[in-house]
């Protein structure tokens, strides 16, 4: 396995940190791997290159790994997620005009997603009555937590995301320019792009993804199932290297170094200060300098989040059913849960198989209702 060459794709997001640090700090090299990282723009590129074998592994949206395995929205290629790169990390950012409109209609605490969702419903109704075009919201991919978090939030307040607004797909690095150009009124994307919009004075962070769901599987280290079966030792080495990197990132003493590494042009290409704020959960949420501490904004190596949890896969599959992307099926539910592989994680790290003390309610929907698919 010495010097085993691997090609791994990623999107410039802070939740790729464990992958980037594993390479740039030499943790994968210490496991005998020679990894080349390829920066991509769109999730469709990452998915397709992983599926056809141009990538050995990838930083991938958790729902895409499930959709690919089930053959939803594209060709069917079974994918495994033996390591969870991040929980949370997203935010809903809106234009100054939409922020002002929501605040003018709000009745309650603007940090409460239900208060803003109900205010959005009133804004949408007023626009319809006045003959205005529907609001446009950007999200990164149809099979993404960004899409589901936006929809979950809107629907809780009475907005039908398929009829009352327009939802469009945009690559993460293009979100800010789209908001600046007036092409969208808001978006849901991962860090650091929400903070970039606020820093430029063109957006307000309305909610973090953790306001919507306390624990939501965001990105995974994904491999094809047939590749993992042919390369079990390499897969285990990747898990160990990324586990070490995740622990390094979550040590607050390392945040400055991590932010500096991620800020490089060939990695994320944004300021280290914004990245460090993301890691610390200290965010400027409005151009006027208003700050907010969100301790669960992005979880990488703490609380055992790097161990894949099939219950998160069940939640994501449930959202696919809710929004018409999949049909209810007990076989599909079983297959979706089988994408997340805690057994591979446990074996690689020499752990006895055990289920973490985290119930499905720990996903923590702000509405208090999860609608987990358990039987059909």
Written as six digits, the tokens of 231 are 């390369």
Alpha carbon distances (Å) from 329 to 79, 120, 319, 326: 19, 34, 13, 9
4-87+217-269+299-363, CATH topology level: D-Maltodextrin-Binding Protein; domain 2 (3.40.190)
Written as six digits, the tokens of 238 are 């990747």
Determine the Cα–Cα distance for residues 132 and 230; give it in Å rounded to an integer. 56
Tell me what pLDDT residue 360 has.
Answer: 45
Written as six digits, the tokens of 214 are 């306390």
Tell me what pLDDT residue 44 has.
Answer: 96
CB 19 within 8 A of CB 27: no
Tell me what pLDDT residue 368 has.
Answer: 75
Tell me what pLDDT residue 2 has.
Answer: 52
Tell me what pLDDT residue 370 has.
Answer: 63
Determine the Cα–Cα distance for residues 268 and 13; give it in Å rounded to an integer. 6
> Which of 193-214 are b and which e, b meaning 16 or more Cβ less than 10 Å from the residue's Cβ?
bbbbbbbeebbbbbbbbbbbbb
Tell me what pLDDT residue 11 has.
Answer: 98
Indicate the domain borders of the chain: 4-87+217-269+299-363, 90-212
The superfamily in CATH containing domain 90-212 is Periplasmic binding protein-like II (3.40.190.10)
Mean pLDDT in consecutive groups of 10 residues from the start of the chain, 376 residues: 85 98 98 98 97 98 98 96 98 98 97 98 98 98 98 97 98 97 98 98 98 96 98 98 98 98 98 97 97 96 93 95 96 98 97 58 75 56
Positive/negative CA dihedral, 121, 215, 89, 148: negative
Same CATH fold assignment for domains 4-87+217-269+299-363 and 90-212? yes
């Amino acid at each position: 396995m010495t010097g085993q060459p691997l090609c791994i794709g990623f999107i410039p997001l802070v939740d790729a940190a464990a992958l980037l640090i594993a390479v740039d700090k030499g943790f994968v090299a210490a496991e005998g791997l020679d990894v080349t990282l390829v920066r991509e723009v769109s999730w469709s590129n990452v998915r397709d290159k992983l599926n056809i074998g141009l990538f050995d592994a990838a930083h991938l949206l958790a729902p895409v790994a499930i959709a690919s395995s089930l053959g939803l929205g594209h060709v069917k290629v079974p994918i495994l997620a033996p390591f969870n790169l991040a929980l949370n990390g997203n935010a809903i950012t809106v234009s100054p005009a939409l922020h002002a409109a929501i605040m003018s209609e709000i009745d309650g605490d603007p940090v409460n997603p239900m208060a803003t969702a109900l205010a959005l419903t009133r804004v949408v109704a007023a626009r319809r009555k006045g003959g205005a075009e529907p609001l446009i919201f950007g999200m990164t991919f149809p099979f993404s937590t960004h899409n589901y978090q936006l929809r979950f939030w809107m629907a809780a307040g009475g907005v039908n995301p398929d009829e009352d607004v327009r939802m469009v797909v945009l690559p993460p690095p293009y979100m800010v320019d789209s908001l600046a150009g007036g092409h969208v009124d808001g978006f849901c994307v991962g860090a650091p792009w929400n903070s970039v919009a606020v820093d430029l004075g063109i957006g307000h962070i309305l909610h973090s993804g953790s306001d919507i769901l306390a624990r939501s599987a965001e990105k995974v280290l994904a491999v094809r199932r047939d590749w993992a079966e042919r390369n079990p030792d390499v897969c285990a080495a990747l898990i160990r290297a990324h586990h070490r990197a995740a622990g390094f990132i979550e040590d607050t003493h390392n945040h400055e170094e991590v932010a500096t590494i991620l800020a490089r042009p060939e990695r994320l290409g944004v300021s280290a200060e914004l990245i460090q704020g993301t890691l610390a959960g200290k965010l400027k949420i409005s151009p006027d300098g208003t700050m907010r501490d969100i301790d669960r904004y992005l979880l990488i190596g703490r609380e055992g989040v790097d161990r894949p949890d099939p219950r998160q896969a069940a939640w994501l599959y449930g959202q696919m059913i809710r929004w018409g992307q999949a049909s209810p099926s007990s076989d599909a539910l079983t297959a979706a849960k089988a994408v997340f592989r805690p057994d591979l994680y446990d074996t690689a790290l020499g752990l006895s198989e055990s289920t973490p003390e985290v119930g499905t309610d720990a996903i923590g929907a702000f509405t208090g209702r999860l609608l987990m698919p358990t039987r059909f």
